[in-house]
Chain A
Amino acid sequence: MNFDKELDARGLNCPLPILRTKKALTDMQSGQVLKVISTDPGSVKDLAAFAKQTGNELLSSEEKNKEFEFFVKRK
C-alpha cells in the first residue's frame, strides 16, 4: 500500500504508539496515509479505537513477523 510517511513505533508501549500516531498525523495533510509499525500487541485494538474515535480511517491492520503494521489515512 502507498504511504506518505512512516512511523517506527517499535519497542514502544501503551500509550506511546497512539500518542506518536496522533502527533504524526497532525503534521500531515488531509488524505495522506501514515504507515505505523509497532511491536506492542495492545496497539492493534488501540489503533482501531483511535481510528474510530478520531475519524482517521484505519485502512489496514496486519501482523507481520511478530510486528504489527497499520495504515492510517488522515481525515
Chain B
Amino acid sequence: MGEPSQLAVIDDLVRRRIDEILPARIEEKLKEIEDAKTPSLAIIATKGTLDWAYPPFILASTASALGWDVSVFFTFYGLNLVRKDVGDLKISPLGNPGMPMKMPFGPDWFKGINWNIPNVVQASIPGFENMATTLMKQTISNNGVASIDELRSACQEGDVKFIACQMTVDLFGFSHDDFIPGMDFAGAATFLPVAQQSSVCLFI
C-alpha cells in the first residue's frame, strides 16, 4: 500500500518541479537556436523597369554583405533584370505620378523645378520614355548610386542565388542563352519551400 502512494508523491513533485523550470528553459533553448541560425532572405522579383530593378538588387546585395543567405526568384517582367544586357532597362513617367521629373543638370534653382508634364503630352512625343530613362540614369550616377550592372555583379560575387521562372521563360519565348550565366531555372513549387524557410520573404 505504501509504494503506489510514494510513487504518486514523487510523480507529483517531479511534475511540479518541471512546471516550474520548463518555461524558462524552453525559452532559453529556443533563443539559442534562433541566434545560431543564419538569417535568410527570399525575394520574388516581378517587375522589369529601371525603378523596380533597384529594390531587389539593393536588398539582395546588402543582405549578402551582411552574411545572409539570399535567393531571388525572377518571374514575369522580373526576367528583364537577369538578361545579359541590363543596360536596356527603361523607366516611364507616363501615368506615373509618383515619379519626380527634375533635370539632373544646370544651376541648383533649375534642378529644383519639378516638370509636371501632362500624360497626354508625354504620350504624343516619340522617344519620351527614352529621354526620361536617360535623365533618370544621369540623376542616379550624379548621386553616387550604383548602376544596376554593379549591384547585380555584387550579388553574384556574394553568392546570391538567382532563379528564373521557367514558365515565364517559355511564355515569353526566351531561351536560356538570353540570360546571364549562373542562373537556375525552376518553378513555383521549387521556390516556395525556400521562401517558407527564409527569415524574410519579399514580393517586389
* B67 interfacial by beta-carbon distance below 8 Å: yes
Contact with A along B21-60 (1 / 0, CB 8 A): 0000000000000000000000000000000000000100
Prevailing SS type, chain A contact patch: helix
Instruction: Give the number of A-B contacts (CB < 8 Å).
Output: 41
Tell me if A59 is interfacial: C-beta within 8 Å of chain B. Answer: no
* Interface hits, A27-67 → B, CB 8 Å: 40, 49-50, 53-54
**Count of chain B residues with a beta carbon within 8 Å of a chain A beta carbon:** 15
List of A residues within 8 angstroms of B65 by Cβ? 15, 18-19, 21-22, 50, 54
Partner of A13, one of B67, B145, B154, B157: B145
Nearest A residue to B65 via CB reads: A22
| B161: min CB distance to chain A, Å | 18
Q: Which residue of B lies closest to A56 (CB)?
A: B67
Which of B62, B144, B151, B154 touches A12 (beta carbons < 8 Å)? Answer: B144
CA distance A19 to B155 in the complex (A): 10
